[in-house]
Chains A and B, each alone.
Chain A
Amino acid sequence: MVFTIDTLLFQVLPYVPVALFIIEAIRRYRQRPFSYSSLSSQFLEGDRLFIGSVPWHYGILFVLGGHLFAFLFPRELIAFGSVPWRLLILEVTALIGGLVSLIGLVELTIRRLTRDRIRAVTNVMDLVVLGVLLTQVGLGVYIALTMRWGSMWFATIMAPYLKSVVLLQPNVDLVSVLPWVIKLHIVGAYVFLAILPYSRLVHMLVWPVHYLFRRPQVVIWNAEPGSLRSTGEPERGG
């Protein structure tokens, strides 16, 4: 086997961020639970956040969900896209999702860089996160615009490749033929995964879905109720 840059990027590299992600996210959750926060800045500035945050989050959730669906159900996706008008709708919807998230992200970046109050709560890692996300979403939108039909070749090339990675037998041949822009997008995804546990992005891991299932009130006893303060005698005198 010839060891190429592709081998490094698509055979070896994937496991580093995955390992980092799993180990670090858990370690941070257990050792520094205080550091898990959305770090929301809405309290300091709300209107611009609305323009940025809402399209960004809904857009990116839709796009990531699309990637996940294409990875899990490539056959179904290809079957769905085998009719031209359905394929067109699929691609246009995905592109809109990407554009919406990109617009939101650009707005968030401008807000973070230009607002004094927001700059006061910005650290280096926040800028790294913004850089990685801007690159990644920008590349994604560029790919969607120029290399059609993304959903179809994703299902035929990327889905098997990702599957091979998950099964610990990475098949570099599948991706080595892809254009460099797509390769960059894949590497970007690994970088994203690697910085996730070290950045504010951890807030996506603690999305509070359990809220839907809990009772409204929470009462915590230091010990079993009924077992405390049972021995105290009444005070005498005053």
Chain B
Amino acid sequence: MNVRLQMAMVFHLDKCIGCHTCSIACKNVWTDRRGAEYMWWNNVETKPGTGYPTAWEDQDRYRGGWVQGSDGKLRLRGFSKGGTLESIFHQPYLPTIDDYYEPFTYRYQDLFDTPEGADQPTARPVSMITGKPIDIQAGPNWDDDLGGSPVYAENDPNLTHVSEEDKRLLFELERMTFFYVPRICNHCLNPSCVAACPSGAIYKRGEDGVVLINQEACRGWRFCVTACPYKKSYYNWSTGKSEKCILCFPRIETGQAPACFHSCVGRIRYFGGLLYDADKLPAAASVPEGELVDAHRGIILNPNDPAVVAGARKNGLGPDVIEACRRSPVYQYVIDWKLALPLHAEFRTIPMLFYVPPLMPVMATVENGAYDTTETGLFGVVDNMRLPITYLARLFSAGNEGHVRYALKKQIAVRAHRRMVTVGDLDRDAVTSMMQEVGADAAELDAIYRLTSLPTEKERYVIPPSHREEAEQMLKTDVLRAKGETGFGFLERPVRGT
């Protein structure tokens, strides 16, 4: 057993209101620069929809992630090692800026400088690349709230597994529905971007599992952009280097949640440590698709298990770190409650960002002014949702409908239980049978309710201490000098080389 710490995340989609505050927080802190204008390390997508970049989930087109060969071994979907060097002069599967959008601004000064005339002056849109006027073809969130559905939502790659009949119903006006999927880098345990980097510039930090690109070692070969199946590695066209979400590591090293978490209005985000067994990699990603979610859960270790604690101590994880892992909301959602699921586990990168699938607006019947909550109706709605379960299973459990159905049923059970407790109009036997079906007792449902609806910031973000002071000592720098000089010194500006 090789115990390591991974900073992991849960996004509770049932709580996401799609306000994009997370995206703006990230944009303002990290990507408001030339060459990075088009990058959204954090973006929020409407589902069904094609997302950003367009149809990123279509791996026949972009060739991201891993595939399992007939010998059971994993290989990158895009290129072999030799193929990488072969295609280095032109990469066939690389998205271009038009697959994202051409960044634009407006000539606001024209509004002031235009001489008086018969027409109102306008601020023309100009490209932020060329500076010339452009016709805007797409934006960072072009299909928000099902905008342009016939072009976008209907081409959602996940709908390939949905029957024609269901698809037709999906886009019937009265039934139409959607939900939001906020996405950041998943900081995977088996990252394909790392494996695809010809320069070896991308690495996973041993201490907390954050995946980073060494900007000084990156040579702009762009294979990470193709290899990341989530398209969360971006090529900076100005500096000629690839960049990605850094999980705000300067913040988490000082005990603060990343900017997108911190700013989340809906409080949908949970952040905490997971202990995992690095010896089980990449075996956990080499199982048949339907078993992937279970295999992912299988490498996560129980921080209360004495053997795990001993292993963690052996690898230098302090008691306070282990204690933080015990209180990790991520561990509760993913392992204890089995509510949170990985996005597209079939990409086999073992993402460390988990999603609680949304309880879509159900096709509820209204009786006597209340939603139908009889025992026949309640769990029935899981299969009567406006979005077919096959669709959600494509997204969150590599096609295994059981995991999604369980997570949805459990959320409904929480609601039923809490309604019974607070309103008292539900039949106790019916609720008990629901609880039995999801295998949860009242205490567990209360705990889910509490962490879902009423968590404090300290409960949502349980960040193990980084102990920078010890890292400083280990790096054999003079600690007192480091204290006085941190933040000062000379850095090379990130400008394009010649």
One of A4-12, A31-39, A85-93, A180-188 contacting the partner: A31-39
What are the interface flags for B178-213 relative to A under an 8 Å C-beta threshold, 1 for contact and 0 otherwise?
A: 000000000000110011011110111111000000
The verdict on A223 contacting chain B, using a C-beta distance below 8 Å, is yes
Task: Give the distance in Å from the alpha carbon of A233 to the alpha carbon of B371 in the complex.
Answer: 51
Q: Are A42 and B497 in contact (CB under 8 A)?
A: no
The verdict on B374 contacting chain A, using a C-beta distance below 8 Å, is no
Q: Are B320 and A234 in contact (CB under 8 A)?
A: yes
Q: Are A120 and B465 in contact (CB under 8 A)?
A: no
The verdict on A116 contacting chain B, using a C-beta distance below 8 Å, is yes
The verdict on B494 contacting chain A, using a C-beta distance below 8 Å, is yes
Q: Are B492 and A209 in contact (CB under 8 A)?
A: no
Q: Are B129 and A117 in contact (CB under 8 A)?
A: yes
Closest chain B residue, CB of each to CB of A203: B219
Task: Give the distance in Å from the alpha carbon of A53 to the alpha carbon of B199 in the complex.
Answer: 20
One of B141-149, B235-243, B263-271, B292-300 contacting the partner: B235-243
Task: Give the distance in Å from the alpha carbon of A38 to the alpha carbon of B205 in the complex.
Answer: 26
Q: Are B90 and A50 in contact (CB under 8 A)?
A: yes
Task: Give the distance in Å from the alpha carbon of A205 to the alpha carbon of B37 in the complex.
Answer: 30
Closest chain B residue, CB of each to CB of A226: B316
The verdict on A221 contacting chain B, using a C-beta distance below 8 Å, is yes
Q: Are B195 and A46 in contact (CB under 8 A)?
A: no
What are the interface flags for A178-207 relative to B under an 8 Å C-beta threshold, 1 for contact and 0 otherwise?
A: 000000000000000000001110110011
Chain A residues within 8 Å of B321, by CB: 229, 232
From the candidates B91, B195, B467, name the one contacting A216 in the complex (CB within 8 A).
B195
The verdict on B118 contacting chain A, using a C-beta distance below 8 Å, is no
Task: Give the distance in Å from the alpha carbon of A20 to the alpha carbon of B238 in the complex.
Answer: 27
B65-111 interface with A by 8 A CB criterion: 81-82, 84-85, 88-91, 94-97
- Chain B nearest CB, measured from A77 CB (Å): 27
One of A121-129, A135-143, A149-157, A160-168 contacting the partner: A121-129
From the candidates B94, B219, B314, B496, name the one contacting A206 in the complex (CB within 8 A).
B219
Given A212-B81, A231-B318, A232-B318, check contact A39 B220 (CB 8 Å): yes
- Chain B nearest CB, measured from A110 CB (Å): 16
From the candidates B206, B458, B497, name the one contacting A35 in the complex (CB within 8 A).
B497
Chain B residues within 8 Å of A32, by CB: 492, 497
Chain A residues within 8 Å of B132, by CB: 116
From the candidates A116, A207, A232, name the one contacting B320 in the complex (CB within 8 A).
A232
What size tier do the contact residues of chain A reach? 35 or more
Given A199-B498, A220-B205, check contact A120 B131 (CB 8 Å): yes
Q: Are B498 and A43 in contact (CB under 8 A)?
A: no
One of B391-399, B406-414, B437-445, B468-476 contacting the partner: B468-476
What are the interface flags for A5-41 relative to B under an 8 Å C-beta threshold, 1 for contact and 0 otherwise?
A: 0000000000000000000000000001111111111
Chain B residues within 8 Å of A36, by CB: 219, 497
The verdict on B359 contacting chain A, using a C-beta distance below 8 Å, is no
- Chain A nearest CB, measured from B35 CB (Å): 9
The verdict on B130 contacting chain A, using a C-beta distance below 8 Å, is yes
Task: Give the distance in Å from the alpha carbon of A25 to the alpha carbon of B132 in the complex.
Answer: 36
Q: Are B470 and A121 in contact (CB under 8 A)?
A: no
Chain B residues within 8 Å of A123, by CB: 496, 498
Chain A residues within 8 Å of B256, by CB: none
Q: Are B216 and A33 in contact (CB under 8 A)?
A: yes
Task: Give the distance in Å from the alpha carbon of A1 to the alpha carbon of B57 in the complex.
Answer: 72
What are the interface flags for B451-474 relative to A under an 8 Å C-beta threshold, 1 for contact and 0 otherwise?
A: 000000010000001110011001
From the candidates B89, B94, B190, B318, name the one contacting A43 in the complex (CB within 8 A).
B94
The verdict on B222 contacting chain A, using a C-beta distance below 8 Å, is yes
The verdict on B323 contacting chain A, using a C-beta distance below 8 Å, is yes
- Chain B nearest CB, measured from A201 CB (Å): 10
Q: Are B94 and A38 in contact (CB under 8 A)?
A: no
From the candidates B130, B200, B322, name the one contacting A214 in the complex (CB within 8 A).
B200
Closest chain A residue, CB of each to CB of B128: A120
Q: Are B220 and A211 in contact (CB under 8 A)?
A: no
Q: Are B497 and A235 in contact (CB under 8 A)?
A: no
- Chain B nearest CB, measured from A112 CB (Å): 14
Q: Are B458 and A238 in contact (CB under 8 A)?
A: yes
Given A222-B475, A227-B474, check contact A58 B205 (CB 8 Å): no
Q: Are B467 and A229 in contact (CB under 8 A)?
A: yes
**12 additional contacts, CB 8 Å, given A216-B195, A221-B207, A229-B317?**
A42-B94, A200-B497, A208-B200, A209-B85, A211-B85, A217-B204, A219-B204, A226-B315, A227-B316, A228-B316, A232-B465, A233-B318
| 4 closest cross-chain pairs (CB), A and B | A35-B497, A223-B474, A232-B318, A208-B198
19 contacts between A and B (CB under 8 A): A32-B497, A37-B496, A37-B497, A38-B240, A46-B90, A46-B96, A50-B90, A117-B97, A120-B130, A212-B82, A217-B204, A219-B203, A222-B475, A225-B206, A228-B471, A229-B467, A230-B470, A234-B323, A235-B320
